[in-house]
């Protein structure tokens, strides 16, 4: 199922953040302690479609997309 919405919380002085994902009406929180990892996840959520979330592994995934998109 595609992700419905997300919310980002980042505390730069603590190098700590939480990414909250809403999928199928359920809310899941992913703890992130690396700013580059947080930026990558937010970039995927903003720019890719569709994006799926796997609650068991807490993984996000894109696709399927055709090879060589004209972007």
- If you average pLDDT over every residue of the chain, what do you get? 90
Flag the least confident range among 2-6, 24-28, 61-65.
61-65
Would you state the pLDDT for residue 69? 64
Would you state the pLDDT for residue 71? 59
Tell me which long-range contacts 2-7 makes (C-beta under 8 A, separation of at least 24): 2/50, 2/51, 2/52, 3/45, 3/51, 3/52, 3/53, 3/60, 6/45
This model's pTM is above 0.85: no
């Amino acid at each position: 199922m595609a992700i419905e919405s997300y919310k980002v919380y980042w505390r730069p002085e603590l190098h700590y953040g939480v990414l909250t994902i809403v999928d199928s009406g359920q809310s899941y929180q992913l703890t992130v302690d690396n700013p580059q990892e947080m930026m990558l996840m937010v970039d995927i959520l903003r720019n890719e479609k569709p994006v799926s979330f796997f609650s068991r592994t807490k993984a996000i995934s894109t696709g399927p997309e055709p090879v060589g998109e004209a972007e």
